[in-house]
Structures are given as structure tokens and as C-alpha cells.
């Protein structure tokens, strides 16, 4: 039977799949790509926003300030036009020199407006346009100076003729040029607004595209994780099945070995010691009464009898024959008082419910779990009392061992082999074992086995063994 273990191990090795690419590398690569895409897109959006801010600052705001100055210039030109109309009117009784102060005030305001307009002039204005406007104003003021010079010399008629022939035309040309610049600024502002709308639309489309790509990447990453998780869980399930199969065969091998040793001790050594005892008794009957030989034979017979009892006790400890002959309930009725005598611990044993037959293999597992639990009470708890409860319920078989000792704590890195064996045996029966620590101290070991498993486990075990 021990040959089944290497065979099982060989099958497990042959079925193992080749090493796969680590999931961590794929996740790190996906995270790196995602972060790179986010950083690149953030830099792009920052660049777009900076360009939009520059467009609004250098073009739109500057264009509006320039338009305000052009409106200021246009208003001054309109004031000059009104003044020149009054100057050439025959109904006006004042001399032309009376308008000199008004022209000077308008000239000062126009010079300031021209200076500011030159600072805010649109970037798309050509140098020829700026030069034409500046030269036109220079020529206009030169003409104004000549007209007022004629007026000071008393030549008002010639001055009025110059106003009608030259100055009003220059003023009209300046008004037309300023109006064209205002129209050009309006067109520039409209174009800038269209460019801003285009930038917003482009950024909005790109945000949608980026969100769609991000969602697609998340979806692909999620599908990849689901795929990897499914494969991982499949591998874990396969490993769990192999571990359960290996544990079952190991425990079956252990029980078979212990059963074999127990029977050998009981049958072979027990029979030999029994025969030796019989021979010693016969020899003692032939020895003289009161002789030293008869005393020695009696002492040797006592030693043989003690050894025989020890061998039988060891045989029962390795594998109680009562499990195969009388069942679990009778075995526990014999075992628990025996533990009391050996350990000195007072054990309260309670049975509840209507007993039902427990399969031999399941009975062995329950017996071993009880044996390990009581060994832990005797060795580690320091308790002087313990309680054992065996419950035959309609759908489950329950075993509970309770003590009021120091308790124990399972350590992940230092887990006792006994606790592992108890868990393995409970899982092999399809049951569950729970180790709890009540508030008043101590430990409770609670085993629950489904009734159908307790009654049919042996048949399933034999079928697996044959398989």
C-alpha cells in the first residue's frame, strides 16, 4: 500500500502544467502603460489649455483693448468733424482762432489714444497699415497747423477754403481707416472665437476618446484578471484535490500500518507471551514447594504477564480492535475511562440522541480526532477536568471536547502536526472542525460530520482506494 504514495506523486508530477508567465509582470506592464498614457494626455491637455489661454490673452483681450482705443480715436475724429463744420459755416460769428484750444485738447487725447493703440495693435496688422495711420495723422495735424497759421495772419477766407478742400477730406480718410481697423478687429475677434470653439470641441472629442480608451483598457485588464483568476482558482482546486487525495492515501496507509502492527502485537507477540506464561506455570508446578526455583519462575511469570498487558495496551492504542468489532460508540465507552486512568484527568462523557451506525473508516477518523484532542488536554492545557460530548443528531454526528485549561493559539508559521491531521481527517469526512476559546478560558474542539458521510464514508474510501 505504501507504493501508492510514490505512484500518486508521479501522477501529480506528470500532470503538472509548465510554468506560466507571472501575473505581476503583466499587471505592472499594464499599470506602466496606463500611467504613461495618463501623463501624456495630461501634458497634451495642459499644452492645449496653455495655448487657449495664450490665444485669449494675446489675441482676444488685446484685440478688445485695441478696439476700445480705435473707438476713442473715432470719437475724437467725429469731434474734429463737428468742429470743422462749424468753422466753415457762415453763420458762425467767431474767428477760426477760437477753435485752437479745442483742437489742441483733441490732439492731446488723440496722441494718447494713438500711443495706447500702438501697444494693443493686433498681431496680424501689417506694418504698412500702422505706418499709413501714423503718417495720415501727421499730415492731418500739419494741415491743421497751416490753417491756424493762416487764421493768425488774418487770412480766414483762405483758411476756410483749406478746411473745405483738404482738412475735411483728411479727416474723412482717417475716419475710414479707423473704421476699417475696427472692422478688421471684429473679424479677428470672430475668428479667434471660432478657433476657441474649435479647440474646445477638439479637446472634448479627445476627452471622449481618452475615456473610451481608458474604459477599454480597464475592460481588457479586468478580463485579463478574470482569466488569470479562473486559471489560478482552477490550479488551486486541482492542487487541493491532489492534496486531499494524497492526504487520504497517507492517512489510509497510516491506519493500515497501525492496524497491521496492532494485530502483529496482539496475535504474534501476545500469543508468544501467552505460551511463555503457560510454560512457566507448568514448570512452576514441577518445582519443589518453597524452593528458590519456584519463586524465580513465579517472578518471571509475573514479568511476562505485565509485558503481555503492556503489549495489549499498546496494540489497543495503535488501533483498537473494538472499532472493527463493536463500533465507535462502544470504543469510546472503553477508551475514555482508560484515558482517565492513564492521565488522572476527570473526564465527563455525555451522549445525546439516538445512536446510528458509523462506518468503520469514519469511526477511525472520529476516534483519532478525539484521541488527539485528549492528548492536547493532557499535555498542554494543564486542566484537571475535561468534557466529551457525542451527539447523534438527525442529520449530523457531532463530537465536542472542552477543557478549562490555558488554551492554545494557532500560529501560521508554527502549526502543530496534530491540528493539521485533525483538520485533514474532518475534511476527508466532508465535515468541519472548529477550535474556539470561550471567554472563561480553555479550549473547545467541535467536530461536525454529515450523517450520510459518517454512514457511507467507508464505501467511498474503498472505491477511491480501488481507483
Which phi and psi (to 5°) does residue 433 adopt?
-120, 135
Q: Are 96 and 151 in contact (CB under 8 A)?
A: yes
CB burial string 112-148: b at 16+ within 10 A, e below: ebbebbeebbbeeeeeebeeebeebbeebeebbeebb
User: Which among 35, 25, 32 has a CA at the least distance from the CA of 228?
Assistant: 25
pTM exceeding 0.85: no
Q: What is d(CA 107, CA 89) in angstroms, rounded to the nearest whole number?
A: 22
User: Which among 149, 192, 145 has a CA at the least distance from the CA of 51?
Assistant: 192
The residue written with cell numbers 474723412 in the block is 172
pLDDT band at residue 3 using 50, 70 and 90 as cut-offs: very low
pLDDT of residue 63: 80
pLDDT of residue 55: 65
Q: What is d(CA 384, CA 106) in angstroms, rounded to the nearest whole number?
A: 118
**Domain locations along the chain:** 23-220, 322-466
| Helices and strands (H, E) in the chain, number of each type | 14, 5
Q: Are 275 and 328 in contact (CB under 8 A)?
A: no
Q: What is d(CA 222, CA 30) in angstroms, rounded to the nearest whole number?
A: 11
Q: Could you say which of 3.40.228.10, 3.75.10.20, 3.30.565.10, 1.10.10.10 is the CATH number of the domain covering 322-466?
A: 3.30.565.10
221-279 pLDDT, tens digit per residue, is 788 888 888 888 888 888 878 877 787 788 778 777 877 787 777 777 778 888 888 88
Kindly state the percentage of the chain with pLDDT values over 70. Answer: 87
Which phi and psi (to 5°) does residue 406 adopt?
-80, -15
447 SS3 class = strand
pLDDT at 171 exceeding the cut of 80: yes
pLDDT band at residue 17 using 50, 70 and 90 as cut-offs: very low
Query: When comparing pLDDT for 12 and 314, which is higher?
Result: 314
Least confident of 225-239, 299-313, 347-361: 299-313
412-453 pLDDT, tens digit per residue, is 444 567 788 888 888 888 899 999 888 888 899 999 999 888
pLDDT of residue 416: 60
45-81 pLDDT, tens digit per residue, is 788 777 777 766 666 777 888 889 889 999 999 999 9
Q: What is d(CA 401, CA 376) in angstroms, rounded to the nearest whole number?
A: 11
pLDDT of residue 4: 42
pLDDT of residue 220: 84
pLDDT at 371 exceeding the cut of 70: yes
The residue written with cell numbers 473715432 in the block is 74
User: Which among 261, 390, 268, 366 has a CA at the least distance from the CA of 316?
Assistant: 261
Query: Mean pLDDT, to the nearest integer, of 10-39?
Result: 63
pLDDT of residue 124: 64
Helix extents (H) in 153-290: 156-162, 168-263, 270-286
Q: What is d(CA 404, CA 414) in angstroms, rounded to the nearest whole number?
A: 23
pLDDT band at residue 411 using 50, 70 and 90 as cut-offs: very low
pLDDT at 12 exceeding the cut of 60: no
User: Which among 364, 363, 440 has a CA at the least distance from the CA of 407?
Assistant: 440
83-94 pLDDT, tens digit per residue, is 888 888 767 677
108-165 pLDDT, tens digit per residue, is 999 999 898 888 876 667 788 888 888 989 999 999 999 989 989 888 889 888 888 8
pLDDT of residue 229: 85
Amino acid at each position: 500500500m505504501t507504493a501508492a504514495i510514490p505512484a500518486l506523486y508521479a501522477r501529480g508530477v506528470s500532470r503538472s502544467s509548465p510554468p506560466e508567465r507571472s501575473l505581476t509582470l503583466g499587471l505592472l506592464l499594464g499599470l506602466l502603460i496606463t500611467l504613461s498614457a495618463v501623463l501624456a494626455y495630461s501634458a497634451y491637455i495642459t499644452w492645449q489649455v496653455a495655448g487657449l489661454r495664450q490665444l485669449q490673452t494675446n489675441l482676444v483681450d488685446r484685440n478688445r483693448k485695441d478696439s476700445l482705443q480705435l473707438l476713442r480715436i473715432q470719437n475724437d475724429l467725429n469731434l474734429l468733424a463737428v468742429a470743422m463744420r462749424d468753422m466753415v459755416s457762415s453763420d458762425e460769428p467767431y474767428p477760426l482762432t477760437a477753435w485752437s484750444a479745442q483742437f489742441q485738447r483733441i490732439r492731446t487725447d488723440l496722441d494718447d489714444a494713438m500711443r495706447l493703440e500702438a501697444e494693443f495693435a493686433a498681431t496680424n496688422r501689417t506694418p504698412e497699415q500702422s505706418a499709413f495711420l501714423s503718417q495720415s495723422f501727421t499730415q492731418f495735424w500739419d494741415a491743421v497747423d497751416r490753417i491756424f497759421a493762416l487764421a493768425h495772419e488774418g487770412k480766414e477766407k483762405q483758411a476756410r477754403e483749406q478746411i473745405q478742400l483738404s482738412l475735411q477730406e483728411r479727416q474723412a480718410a482717417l475716419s475710414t481707416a479707423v473704421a476699417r481697423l475696427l472692422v478688421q478687429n471684429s473679424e479677428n475677434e470672430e475668428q479667434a472665437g471660432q478657433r476657441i470653439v474649435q479647440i474646445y470641441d477638439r479637446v472634448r472629442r479627445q476627452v471622449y476618446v481618452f475615456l473610451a480608451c481608458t474604459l477599454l483598457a480597464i475592460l481588457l485588464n479586468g478580463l485579463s484578471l478574470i482569466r488569470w483568476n479562473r486559471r489560478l482558482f482552477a490550479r488551486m482546486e486541482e492542487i487541493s484535490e491532489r492534496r486531499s487525495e494524497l492526504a487520504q492515501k497517507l492517512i489510509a496507509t497510516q491506519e493500515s500500518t497501525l492496524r497491521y502492527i496492532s494485530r502483529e502485537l496482539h496475535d504474534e507477540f501476545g500469543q508468544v507471551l501467552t505460551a511463555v506464561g503457560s510454560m512457566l506455570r507448568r514448570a512452576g508446578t514441577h518445582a519443589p514447594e518453597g524452593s528458590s526455583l519456584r519463586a524465580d519462575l513465579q517472578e518471571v511469570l509475573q514479568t511476562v504477564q505485565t509485558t503481555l498487558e503492556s503489549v495489549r495496551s499498546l496494540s489497543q492504542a495503535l488501533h483498537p480492535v473494538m472499532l472493527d468489532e463493536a463500533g465507535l460508540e462502544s470504543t469510546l465507552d472503553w477508551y475514555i475511562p482508560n484515558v482517565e486512568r492513564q492521565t488522572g484527568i476527570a473526564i465527563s462523557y455525555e451522549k445525546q440522541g439516538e445512536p446510528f451506525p458509523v462506518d468503520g473508516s469514519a469511526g477511525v477518523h472520529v476516534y483519532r480526532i478525539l484521541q488527539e484532542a485528549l492528548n492536547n488536554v493532557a499535555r498542554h492545557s494543564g486542566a484537571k477536568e475535561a468534557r466529551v460530548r457525542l451527539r447523534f443528531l438527525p442529520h449530523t454526528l457531532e463530537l465536542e471536547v472542552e477543557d478549562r485549561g490555558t488554551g492554545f493559539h494557532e500560529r501560521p508559521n508554527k502549526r502543530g502536526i496534530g491540528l493539521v491531521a485533525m483538520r485533514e481527517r474532518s475534511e476527508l469526512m466532508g465535515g468541519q472542525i472548529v477550535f474556539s476559546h470561550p471567554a472563561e478560558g480553555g479550549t473547545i474542539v467541535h467536530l461536525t460530520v454529515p450523517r450520510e458521510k459518517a454512514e457511507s464514508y467507508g464505501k467511498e474510501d474503498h472505491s477511491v482506494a480501488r481507483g
